[in-house]
Amino acid sequence: MPGTAPRTSSATWNDASTPTWTKSWRRPSRSRAGAPVSNPADLSATAAAAAIRRGRLTSKALVRACLERIFQREPVVRAFADLQPEQALAWAEKLDARGPRDDEPLFGVPVAIKEVFDVAGYRCAWGTPIHTTRVSSVDAPAVARLRKAGAVVLGTVVSTEYAIAAAGPTTNPHDPTRSPGGSSSGAAAAVAAKMVPLALGSQSIGSIIRPAVYCGVFGLKPTKGAISTRGTMALAEELDHVGPIARTLDDIALACRVLFGHDPAGASSCDVTPPAAVAAPPSHVLEVVGPLRQRVRPASAAAVQRAAAALRKAGIPVSRIELPPDFDRIEWVIHTLLCRGIAKHHGIDRDRHGERMSERMRELVDLGRAITDAEYTGALALAGQFSEQLAAMLMPGTVMLTAAVDDVAPPLPEGTGSPLLQGLWTVVGLPALAVPCGRHGGLPIGVQLIAGHGQESVLLAAARKLLAAL
């Protein structure tokens, strides 16, 4: 929640936001054999799960190591909304006592969940003081899938206000004077700071892709409906997506295998095949120019050129295409669909508690209420037109490459950065992957790769080729 420190069950926070932890868990991490484990918090989710399964590490030791990392970095990064160390350790101890099952690929691995998801027993405040005491009694389906796969929920992480407006307290792990992006800011920052190897985020314009790029990690906005959005705070049903954020492509693929699946009770849910462990690389890459090409600054443009050169080096043909000028109307489409949804879902909060909302959030609700049915229908029609045009370009085996963000992470006073360059792919529901691609002025910068509906396998294969060539 903006301006506050995490609520914890075994830690207190003083006025300087410095945590004072109980000593019960602050012991050196050890393996089952008793030998010290080097920096288990640095492990990826895939590597950690393998180490636990082979008996080289316990879940409790891994959770304790992640908590120690949080103790070190949270006073500055401020990624967590609700952290419950003792509960996480108790759950990890139970898992260790019984051992992993075959259907638990994330057995013993700590994860963090954006506070817009329902997480049983945790504060899920949607980034607003209006709902600061909101604690769910049940897990959202996506969270339930993580638990079923053996994951240990470490806590909920900060979102911007209603996942769209005022920024939370989180800072960029690479430079605390810079934004981590919005609205999955806490999720991306926690992963980048190695507080957790995997986090669950959401995107309604660009809130997985942008924070991932700013924080130098991977973020997948999957095919629309591949991961259930039920139990997640809604902004606009036409735009809402759920996706993982991680430090490795293997972890993104693993998360997809856990999270993908049709939800019969989810209105927009669909059955999408999770990415294969090994997939053929793309036969062709399209370097896309537009929409809103004037927004792309030199650092981001250079990242695209580095990525294109790396893909060519990997033997994949890259050609350049410019989207028609009509695609620049995407800003109007996003505005219309998003504001209409915000008014529908959060107008009642504006009426009852408007004085506790930011001015920007009140404005978004009021703008949404002014949108006519004709404008809404027109936006849906234009979104459908964009989808058809892009589908014609994305032949089987084709991946698109384009700028992910305007520039590197902006200074905190300038906000969380623009989501517009990510918005087209959200509107049309195509899978998009944020891929780190170098640095500029010491800050991470990256690109986004896009594939056809349900083509996450080729998307990840393209990213692997890109990284290998880099």
Residues of each domain in the chain carrying CATH 3.90.1300.10 = 7-259, 284-330+374-469
Q: CA-to-CA distance for 184 and 200, rounded, in angstroms?
A: 8
DSSP state, 7?
E
Looking up tokens 């989207």 gives 323
User: How many of the other CB atoms lie within 10 Å of CB of 405?
Assistant: 32
In 3D, which of 164, 211, 215, 144 has the Cα closest to residue 2? 164
DSSP state, 357?
S
Query: Nearest 5 degrees, angle CA 435-CA 440-CA 445?
Result: 20
Q: What is the pLDDT of residues 22-45, one digit of tens each?
A: 444 454 444 444 444 579 999 999
**How many angstroms separate the Cα of 355 from the Cα of each of 2, 132, 362, 447?**
15, 15, 9, 39
Query: Superfamily for 7-259?
Result: Amidase signature (AS) domain (3.90.1300.10)
Residue 221 near residue 208 (C-beta atoms within 8 A): yes
Q: Which residues of the chain have pLDDT under 50?
A: 1-25, 27-36
Q: CA-to-CA distance for 127 and 117, rounded, in angstroms?
A: 11
pLDDT at 24: 47
**How many angstroms separate the Cα of 170 from the Cα of each of 50, 193, 320, 426, 463?**
31, 12, 37, 24, 28
Strands 19-21 and 11-13: antiparallel
What amino acid occupies position 47? Answer: A
Q: CA-to-CA distance for 452 and 432, rounded, in angstroms?
A: 9
Q: Which residues are catalytically annotated?
A: 114, 183, 207
Query: Nearest 5 degrees, angle CA 336-CA 321-CA 304?
Result: 85
pLDDT at 267: 85
pTM: 0.93
Residue 156 near residue 122 (C-beta atoms within 8 A): yes
Q: What is the crossing angle of helices 456-469 and 249-259, to 10°?
A: 170
pLDDT at 362: 98
In 3D, which of 399, 458, 47, 104 has the Cα closest to residue 257? 104
Distance of CA 301 to the CA centre of its chain: 23
pLDDT at 276: 86
DSSP state, 64?
H
Query: Superfamily for 284-330+374-469?
Result: Amidase signature (AS) domain (3.90.1300.10)
Q: CA-to-CA distance for 354 and 348, rounded, in angstroms?
A: 9
Burial 212-227 (b: 16+ CB within 10 A, else e): bbbbbbbbbbbbbbbb
